[in-house]
Each structure stands twice: as structure tokens, then as C-alpha cells.
Amino acid sequence: MKILIINAGSSSLKYQLIDMTDESILAKGIVERIGIPGGKLCHSFGDGKFTLDKDIRDHTQAMGVVLEALLDEDHGAISSISEIAAVGHRVLHGGEKFTASCIITQPVIDAIEEYIPLGPLHNPANLMGIRACQAVMPNTPMVAVFDTAFHQTMPKKAYLYGVPYEFYKKHHIRRYGFHGTSHRFVSARAVELLGFTGKESKIVVCHLGNGSSLSACVNGKCVDTSMGLTPLEGVLMGTRSGDVDPAIVEYIADSEHMTVGEVVNFLNKKSGLLGLSGVSSDMRDVWAAANAGNEMAKITIDIWAYRIRKYIGAYAAAMGGLDAIVFTAGIGENDCRARALILEGLEFLGVKLDPAANDSTRAAEGPISAPDSTVQVWVIPTNEEISIARDTLELIGK
């Protein structure tokens, strides 16, 4: 049983073909620069790689290129499209309608379209991916897996903003949260690995990548998360500012002669690690600069860790306790110095790091807390594609 996973962006399309008998990746790749001159396919299969330079008009042509690569005698992974049992699509925004993944039907497509104002960059791209697949594989079932769905269990006190309630009623203005597929995968794995199956658990998941968010999970269900109406809210990220006083928008607009849209774009794309350090949005580069004595880079890392630490404290208070902290995504899985810095000063909560375990745990599951730490601290690599594939398989009922 083979499942194709599609993650469509506005000018890119990522894919993975997964064999569900053992959840192995048969092939994966990305089509870049869709609709822009200089289109490119980078495809990998087993130990091999294949690249193709070709201008690609739109997502439908991109899907055609992907299928050609998957069917190729030399670098492909299947001999017929019918071997693909279903396609799982990552979709950013499911608003309040989707609390779980679902089979894609016309009403589902209509709802994803309806939520375009909430996900103006991603939802149209996700829809292009879905329509492109439907065009080239009209008989294959498709499933939508939403980034927002896992957070739909948040109570009103966590998801409503302190703005007039009619804005929520009229315009759906509330906190939604993102990275839900990752938070769901990692929190479920934590419950299993840390011995909380069938027991009560209070876990904070720290998804720290280029985009970063934290979630508070009680008994496997999300009760709060750091991203909001859009992914801009929360902790400091690669290029996003995270939490700011909203009045900053008007102030910057006036001082820098920008429109509101330009300021929000600045807060999304030119802020965070990049904007503060002036070095890079990539944590490895910021560390390298800090190690070389760059003061602003050092302060940036301090601010980054401090804000994550504050969220962990807030979530312990929100949940009325804390059993575990789990780190995942690029920084969370690999960067032991960043993890140690975040946890500094959390001893009062019962957090005690095992420095040797922390230093040696990279991109692998394992505990990094000391045996006598009352809060377990773990690294659990995320796997959004497997999570999407599992949902897809379950929903097509094979």
C-alpha cells in the first residue's frame, strides 16, 4: 500500500511516496520555482538522486513532472499510477470546521476556499496542489490534513482574544494555532514513550524550527498553543517576531513610511533571529556569529531562549502542573546548547537536565533529563509526513 504525501506552496510542491507496510520512504522530492523561470525538480529515491531543470507553468504541470519521476524506469518507485492508493495533502487552515483530517470532497474544497482570508498565502497553494492531483489522478482518493485541527480542542479562554466578541462572530478572529500535525505526532509519541498511556499527563511540546510554536497538551489533547490567528504570534522564530504589542504596527508604519501590510510582512519575513541579530534566520549561523564574539547574536539567542522559557512557565501554570517537556523540529532535535539555555532556571519546576544525555542526543528519540528530574525532558523527532500518511490510510479504510 503506497501513499503519496503532497505539501504544496505557492511556487513549490514537496512530495513523499511512502510504503505503508513498513512506513519507509520510497521516493521524495520538491518541484521549485513553479510559474517562475528556472523551474527545477529535485527527486531522491533510495540512495539515488535525480534532478531536472525545466520551466514549470503551474501546479498541474508540476504534478505531471512528479508522476513522471515516480514512474521512471531508472529513478522511479512505481510502475503504474494505480499503485498509489491515496494522496494525503497538507492544508494550512481548516478554520473551526475541521477538528480532524478528512476525505476531500467538494464541500471540503469549498471550506478550504472559504478560509483563504485566514490563510491567504497557504490555502490557495494547498488548493492548487489538490486540484493538480485531481487533474492527473482523477480516480485516486485524496485526504486533507489540517495544520490547525489538533488545536481545535483549546477552550474558549485560550483561543479568544480580548477584542470585541462580534469580531469573532463576524470575522472568525480567534487563535487557531499551527504545526498541529507535528504537535499531535510528538505529543502522542510522548504519551506512549514516557509511560503515560491510560494515565493523566501534562506535556509541553516545543516545536523549534524555522517556524516555532509550543503547545500545552493535557492527556494528549491541546489546551493551548503559542501561534494565533496567524503563525506570527508566539515565540521568536527564524524571521517572525513572535509576540509584539499590536500598537507597534502603526508606530512602525508611521516612522518608516510603510503600509500596514508592509509592516506585517516585515514582522513575518525580516524579524525574529534574522532581524534582531542582523546575521541570519538560521540558528546555526547565529550561534557561529555569537561564538565569534558578535554581541547582537548573543543577545538574540538569549531573547529567543528567554521567550520560550516564559511560555513553558506559562503553560505549566495553565495546566496546573508539568510532567514533561519535549523538544522537536530542526533546533529542538539538534541543538543541545539551545535546549540547555531554554531550561536554565526552570529547576524550581522540577526540571533537571542530564548534560551528557543532552549533548549526545541529536535527531533521535531519547530522554535528556536526569533520573531524579520530576519533569521528564525528551527529544522526539517530528514526522509530519508519516502522520499525514497514517491519517490518509485510516480514512480511506484500507
Neighbours of 171 (CB within 10 A): 12
CA distances from 149 to 55, 123, 247, 341, 366 (A): 35, 14, 30, 31, 27
Region binding ligand ADP by CB under 6 A among candidate stretches 44-52, 150-158, 208-216, 263-271: 208-216
Strand 84-91 to strand 142-146: parallel, antiparallel, or no bridges (unpaired)? Answer: parallel
Q: Which residues is 88 bridged to in the sheet? A: 5, 143
Residue from 92, 283, 305, 386 in contact with ligand ADP (CB under 6 A):
283
Query: Nearest approach, Cβ of 364 to ligand ADP (angstroms)?
Result: 12
Assigned C-alpha cell, 116: 483563504
Annotate 226-250 with b (16+ C-beta within 10 A) or e (fewer).
bbbbbbbbbbbbbbbbbeeeeeebe
Q: What mask of x and - would describe binding to ligand ADP in positions 217 to 256, judged by CB under 6 A?
A: ---------------------x------------------
Residue from 180, 242, 330, 367 in contact with ligand ADP (CB under 6 A):
330
Q: Residues in contact with ligand ADP, total (CB under 6 A)?
A: 12
Q: Is there a contact between 384 and 375 (Cβ–Cβ < 8 Å)?
A: no
Region binding ligand ADP by CB under 6 A among candidate stretches 84-92, 247-255, 256-264, 279-287: 279-287
Q: What are phi and psi of 281, to 5 degrees?
A: -90, -5
224 vs 385, beta carbon nearer ligand ADP: 385
Q: What residues contact residue 33 under an 8 Å CB cut-off, 6+ apart?
A: 11, 12, 39, 40, 56
Q: What are phi and psi of 78, to 5 degrees?
A: -140, 160
Q: Among residues 74, 147, 224, 254, which one is catalytic?
A: 147
Strands of the 84-91 sheet, one edge to the other: 48-53, 40-45, 24-32, 13-19, 2-8, 84-91, 142-146, 102-103
14 vs 174, beta carbon nearer ligand ADP: 14
Neighbours of 96 (CB within 10 A): 14
Region binding ligand ADP by CB under 6 A among candidate stretches 107-115, 166-174, 280-288, 298-306: 280-288
Residue 331 contacts ligand ADP per CB under 6 A: yes
243 vs 282, beta carbon nearer ligand ADP: 282
Residue from 224, 335, 385, 391 in contact with ligand ADP (CB under 6 A):
335
Q: Is there a contact between 368 and 352 (Cβ–Cβ < 8 Å)?
A: no
Query: Nearest approach, Cβ of 209 to ligand ADP (angstroms)?
Result: 3
Name the residue with the smallest CB distance to ligand ADP: 330
Q: Is there a contact between 131 and 123 (Cβ–Cβ < 8 Å)?
A: no
Assigned C-alpha cell, 220: 494528549
Q: What mask of x and - would describe binding to ligand ADP in positions 290 to 329, judged by CB under 6 A?
A: ---------------------------------------x
Alpha-carbon gap, residue 316 to 264, rounded angstroms: 30
Query: Nearest approach, Cβ of 377 to ligand ADP (angstroms)?
Result: 17
Asked if 147 is an active-site residue, the reply is yes
Residue 282 contacts ligand ADP per CB under 6 A: yes
Query: Nearest approach, Cβ of 77 to ligand ADP (angstroms)?
Result: 24
Query: Nearest approach, Cβ of 237 to ligand ADP (angstroms)?
Result: 8
Question: What residue ranges bind ligand ADP (CB under 6 A)?
Answer: 209-211, 238, 282-284, 329-331, 334-335
* Catalytic center residues: 147
